[in-house]
Structure 1
Amino acid sequence: MTQLIDQNFLQEHNTKQESALTSDYNALAEKLDRSGFNIDSILAQAKQFAVAVPSWGVGTGGTRFARFPGKGEPRNIFEKLDDCSVIQQLSQATPTVSLHIPWDKPKDPNELRQYAEQYDLRFDAMNSNTFQDQIGQEESYKFGSLAHSSKAARDQAIAHNIEVVELGEKLGSKALTVWVGDGSNFPGQQHFKNSFTHYLESIKEIYNSLPDDWNMLLEHKIFEPAFYSTVIQDWGSSYLAAKETGERCLSLVDLGHHAPNVNIEMIVSRLAQFGKLGGFHFNDSKYGDDDLDSGSINPYQLFLIFNELTDIRSQDTTYNPFYMLDQSHNVTDPIESLMYSAAEVQRAFVKSLLVDREALTNHQNTNDAMMAQATLKQAYNLDIEPILQMARLQEGGAISPVACYRASQYRQTCDKNRPADPNKTGSGIV
């Protein structure tokens, strides 16, 4: 397997910290044992956790007004995979890549798949793009795509999604994620019922083209670019559309696509209860769809979401939703942010494994609100960093991914090998 950061350098970096990690891990093992948890069992589950990296995420994102490119940015999908391989090598939690088409449409899918395989990377859910016009397309998406009042525009959007599915088959993907910016900015601009009907007809046609072992994930968003109404604006609309479409059509939850202070963990429970929770796009937000690093603003919410997911999985061990990071890195090195975020999502997952579920159930059944929330906080307040570090070490990753990455000077090497074209951006972000 090809590795872009020298493994000897990585091992030397780990060696300096391994003794302290062993001590911290043993101390945590004793503490967890007193609460009835076996640390090695928790470690094994931590090592199995994985979240996909978005191909567009390794480039510098943009604000609503400008984009400020970083040094050594990837200029094409192959260089993006190089960066994704470094994230996986150091974090050991991101073995899959989610592509956005046509931003990252390869000329030769087999060549791209072989390129990924040298890094032991696989392709996660495919993402279609009908929220912006592409060069050469006949119909504009200015006023919508799958829900457009024009059948010609809808047919074009449907054809694009089917093309993305066909490409995904060649790459080994098993899911299509559909997000549209369709909606309206003024009262009366759009007929609510007709637009939703058009959307349902469109996704049903796409769904019918799916291979038998594929899922379709419908992503909702409360606003932007449609600020008065959005066709799929909340989890209810997403659920209705998924239910109307078919068994393998599911809802996808992006943590930034909700009104402020919405109880996302309860949405997770509701969708799962009725078999329609298909996956997540992890990020964080303060005001809206900020696309900030996961866990950077509200790590407790992230933990509460995983608390629900762990409870769901305890009842159905086969449950396996799609996980992906979906962030815009405007002021940080994207590789650092994605490694940090992967660890934060993994941290929330591990902490959720340490909730005393028997005690929590008893407190819920006896309406002991104080002790119920205290039971959750007991797990959340645990410092489980030694488990994450040990998982990375045993899987061949870095005990301290960001520090190791900086010491390797990978970004500086990219800056020399990837001369920027001032007229283009390889980030896939507008």
Structure 2
Amino acid sequence: MEEKIADAATVHRLTGLAPAVALHIPWDKVDDYEALARHAEEHGVRLGTINSNTFQDDDYKLGALTHVDRKIRQKAIDHHFECIDVMNATGSRDLKIWLAEGSNYPGQADLRGRQDRLAESLAIIHERLTDEQRLVLEYKLFEPAFYHTDVPDWGTAYTQVAALGDNAVVCLDTGHHAPSTNIEFIVRAAAAAREAGLVRLQQPLLRRRRPDRRRRGPVPAVPDHLRGDPRRRLRARQRRRVHARPVPQHRGQDPGADPVGPQRAGDDGPGAARRPRRPRPGAGGR
């Protein structure tokens, strides 16, 4: 963990963009968090958001804070209490919760009951926070369940945190939205409601280009046969142009002959897009 902090401190010294280092519990567990906080301060950074983890333990495969078994829900709540203890030791302000919880097929779970249990669990965790600390709820459209996710979007996250108080907010993640979602509008709406606690910047998850099966890496923006040759690109654009005039679908509505003449591709006449004529076989030399 000390090496991670040193790396982040180097990035911050060169760019000024990384003043805090987030911890993920239990991935970043140490024996002495106060010493770790002092180590970060010595390197010119501080310890920031504390992230909980309720998606690795097999007990949580059917839910953690939403599980029907009260013992498993309490186990997940106790884990968040541990994260709050880390916050108290490091001086961190935010506890960020992302839940990989949902169901895989219709009828597997009671959707309303899961939302009620989630609200109850979040309220218990929120009560443990001090007035200077915040609960930050992150959403994700799809992962890992196949049918539904308990916190799939910012509206669901907002509904949950709005009932907790002013120090419960939403983490706006730019990569966890459906395709064609206007993220700027969501940021504006959440900021107007004063519920935008954090903004997590990453590449949109569902907008990544599918890799080409015949090559490694993403599909190139320009095909190889057009790359580096402006004449080829010009000819490609010319081939995409449409020369034909619209033709009525019902011949009975045809107003008659065009005074300018036929202009459909391949017709003869003024203004027509002439199709190049190929010489007939055996016509050469006559």
Q: Who is 1:174 aligned against?
A: 93
Runs of 4+ in 1 over 4 A off after TM superposition: none
Q: Aligned runs of 1:188-227 on 2, under 5 Å?
A: 188-227=107-146
Secondary structure at the counterpart of residue 128 of structure 2 = coil
1:89-114 Cα shifts (integer Å, max 9, x gaps) = 21122111111111001111122112
Aligned partner of 1:235 among 154, 160, 181: 154
Aligned partner of 2:196 among 277, 286, 306: 277
Query: Is 2:170–2:195's contact at 8 Å kept on the other side of the alignment?
Result: yes
**Considering only CA atoms, is the larger Rg found in Structure 1 or Structure 2?**
2
2:205 & 2:195 partners in 1: Cα distance?
27
1:123 & 1:248 partners in 2: Cα distance?
19
- Give the TM-score of the pair, scaled to structure 1: 0.47
1:209 & 1:229 partners in 2: Cα distance?
29
1:153 & 1:245 partners in 2: Cα distance?
22
Which protein, 1 or 2, shows the higher relative CO under an 8 Å CA cutoff with sep ≥ 6? 1
| Matched pairs, number | 209
Q: Who is 2:42 aligned against?
A: 118
Percentage of identical aligned residues? 37
2:118 & 2:206 partners in 1: Cα distance?
28
Query: Is 2:2–2:39's contact at 8 Å kept on the other side of the alignment?
Result: yes
Quote the offset at 1:79 in angstroms: 1.3
Distance 1:149 1:286, change over 3 A: closer
The structure with the largest helix share of the pair is 1
Quote the offset at 1:118 in angstroms: 1.2
2:198 & 2:16 partners in 1: Cα distance?
20
Q: Aligned runs of 1:348-359 on 2, under 5 Å?
A: none
Q: Aligned runs of 1:278-427 on 2, under 5 Å?
A: 278-285=197-204, 287=206
Q: Who is 2:80 aligned against?
A: 161
1:322-349 Cα shifts (integer Å, max 9, x gaps) = xxxxxxxxx9xxxxxxxxxxxxxxxxxx
Quote the offset at 1:255 in angstroms: 0.8
Quote the offset at 1:285 in angstroms: 2.4
1:124-155 Cα shifts (integer Å, max 9, x gaps) = 1111111111xxxxx71111101111111110
Quote the offset at 1:287 in angstroms: 2.5
Aligned partner of 1:147 among 48, 52, 66: 66
2:161 & 2:73 partners in 1: Cα distance?
18
Q: Where does the alignment leave 5 or more consecutive residues of structure 1 unmatched?
A: 1-76, 134-138, 291-330, 332-430
- Aligned residue type for 1:87: V
- Aligned residue type for 2:5: L
- Aligned residue type for 2:101: D
2:111 & 2:40 partners in 1: Cα distance?
43
CA RMSD of aligned residues (A): 1.5
